Amino acid sequence: MEEQREIGGNPLVLGIETSCDETAAAVVDGDGRIHANVVFTQIEDHAPFGGVVPEIAARAHLDHLRPVIERALEEAGIGFEALDAVAATGGPGLIGGVLVGTMTAKAIAMARGIPYLAVNHLEAHALTARLTDHVPFPYLLLLVSGGHCQLIAVEGLGKYRRLGTTIDDAVGEAFDKTAKLLGMGYPGGPELEKAAEKGNPERFELPRPMVGKPGCDFSFSGLKTAVRQKVSALGEPTEQDIADIAAAFQHAVAASLVNRCRNAIQVFSEMHGAGHALVVAGGVAANKHLRAALSDLAGKSGMDFVAPPIGLCTDNAAMVAWAGIERLRAGERDPLSFAPRPRWPLDPGAPKAVGAGVKA
Ligand code: KG4
Ligand code: ZN
């Protein structure tokens, strides 16, 4: 084990992400320069099952993480000795994968005598806009991924106030389940978006969940059920039918997200005043229709709209390295005794959403 060394103002950090079905490693510096960003997606391993199989994911992370880290270092043109710290997703997520990433990061930190940071995956998504666009605190964040759908006031590093969450499915889950109903592969979000481009959103009427209701919570399970009914009423849907339903679904989701964000903007402005940014993050933020709808809302509300590039919206390790850098600069470190957390809410004190089955 090496001596602990001084960390300068521009640390070089290795990020590791293994919480779901992407095995990723990245090297990022304190100026936000991404020296390497390697993402190995396990989609092919999980596709036959129509979703992520935790045991397969854990095994695949074990097989792929080492070569992925080696490739990231090679692309960055550095060896382990150049690293100032190592940051790995410590949760929330599928525990097998989180364990693989955590153990690997701890081993590197121990062997090199450098700090280890256990990063909250949601915090990594939440801070990505600071890596890409240097967005100052506070800002309003819409976090939309496969496992989460939350509106969060990001007030500072480690200061997250949840304004709303989903009472049933996460929005990415709704995309994936709806895509499955429409006969598409996994993950369905990108495929559904592609089909919707050729569709007429006006042909089928779908509910716009929660629109007009007070508060900032979300719900998507009713929308999914409505799609199921439309599909079974059609019997053998044609390609055009599917495109039209996909477009109607996407419009309904956009209307719902915009409506909930509008309420959240009001709450956020009462807390922090005007002139702040609306930031969108998480895999679903890759959807162009949703980005356009949210950008329009931000414009009308006098807010800047920030959406990271698509490759930094879906799971990646650059965001994990960056969250590590922010925490490192704040003087934070995690002990090597850190225990991975399958659940790890950003705002543990947040009131529960009205309804059952709330996700953290
Ligand atoms: O953030 P992410 O990569 O992983 C999680 O932390 O969950 O998000 C993955 C989710 C999946 O549900 C996927 O279908 C969805 O993001 N997604 C999309 C698009 N690209 C990815 N949903 C809608 N439109 C897209 N273009
Ligand atoms: Zn994610």
pLDDT in tens, 238-293: 999 999 999 999 999 999 999 999 999 999 999 999 999 999 999 999 999 999 99
Q: Residue 2: is its pLDDT beyond 50? A: no
Domain match, 76 and 119 both: yes
What pLDDT is attached to residue 317?
A: 98
Exposure of 234 by Cβ count < 10 A (0-12 exposed, 13-18 middle, 19+ buried)? middle
Region class of 44: left (phi > 0), else alpha (psi between -120 and 50), else beta: alpha
14: three-class secondary structure by DSSP: strand
Ligand 1 centroid to Cα of residue 100, in Å, is 22
All residues at 6 or more sequence positions from 6 whose CB lies less than 8 Å from its CB, including other chains: none
pLDDT of residue 1: 43
pLDDT of residue 102: 98
Same-domain check for residues 293 and 165 = yes
Torsion sign (Cα): 127, 356, 260, 270: negative
Does the structure show a pLDDT above 50 at 107?
yes
Q: Are residues 122 and 164 in the same domain?
A: no
Which pLDDT score, from 0 to 100, does residue 95 have?
A: 95
Residue 217's pLDDT is what? Answer: 97
Whether residues 151 and 248 share a domain: the answer is yes
Average pLDDT over residues 204-220: 96
Q: Does 289 map to a domain?
A: yes
For residues 68 and 175, membership in a common domain is answered with: no
What mean pLDDT do residues 48-68 have? 90
Q: What is the CATH number of the domain that holds 37?
A: 3.30.420.40
Q: Which residues surround ligand 2, an ion (CB under 5 A)?
A: 145, 315
- The answer to whether position 186 is within a domain reads yes
Same domain? For 52 and 197 the reply is: no
Report residues whose beta carbon is within 6 angstroms of any ligand 1 atom.
20, 145-147, 172, 175-176, 187-190, 193, 282-284, 286-287, 314-315
Burial of 6 by CB count in 10 Å (0-12 exposed, 13-18 middle, 19+ buried)?
A: exposed
- What pLDDT does 176 receive? 94
The percent of residues above 90 in pLDDT, for the chain, comes to: 87
- Which ranges constitute the DSSP H helices of the chain? 43-46, 54-76, 95-112, 121-133, 171-181, 188-196, 221-234, 239-272, 288-300, 310-313, 318-329
User: Which pLDDT score, from 0 to 100, does residue 6 have?
Assistant: 59
**Cα separation, 248 vs 239, whole angstroms:** 14
Specify if 252 maps to a domain: yes
pLDDT at 192 over 60: yes
pLDDT of residue 351: 78
According to DSSP, the β-strands at 22-29 and 12-17 are antiparallel
Averaged pLDDT for residues 23-40: 97
Q: Which residue's CA is minimally distant from atom 7 of ligand 1?
A: 146
- For CA atoms 66, 68, 69, 70, give the dihedral sign: positive
Distance 29 CA to ligand 2 centre (A): 21
240 assigned to some structural domain: yes
Q: Is residue 336 part of a domain?
A: no
Q: Are residues 141 and 282 in the same domain?
A: yes
| Residue from 120, 127, 175 to probe ligand 1 pocket by mutation (most atoms less than 8 Å from CB) | 175
What's the pLDDT score for residue 56?
86
Answer whether residue 347 is part of any domain.
Answer: no
Q: Which residue has the higher pLDDT, 315 or 45?
A: 315
Confidence band for 36, pLDDT divided at 50, 70 and 90: very high
Distance CA 357, CA 30 (A): 39
Is the residue at 348 inside a domain?
no
Q: Does a structural domain hold residue 218?
A: yes
In this model, does residue 357 exceed pLDDT 70?
A: no
Same domain, 271 and 317: no
Q: Could you read off the pLDDT of 330-343 as tens digits, one per residue?
A: 999 999 999 999 99
Provide the number of structural domains found in the chain: 2
Q: How far is the centre of ligand 1, averaged over its atoms, from the C-alpha of 171 (Å)? A: 9
Q: What average pLDDT does the chain have?
A: 94
Strand order across the 12-17 sheet: 34-41, 22-29, 12-17, 85-91, 116-120
Domain that holds residue 277: 137-308
Which letter does DSSP use for residue 198 in this model? T
Residue type, 95: I
pLDDT at 298: 98
| 151 and 278 part of one domain | yes
Asked if the model's pLDDT at residue 356 lies above 90, the reply is no
Residues 284 and 297 in one domain: yes
Mean pLDDT calculated for residue range 86-111: 97
Site to substitute for ligand 1 among 98, 186, 284, 310, most atoms within 8 A of C-beta: 284
Q: Does 248 share its domain with 203?
A: yes
Q: Are residues 22 and 110 in the same domain?
A: yes
Report d(CA 144, CA 284) in Å as an integer.
Answer: 5
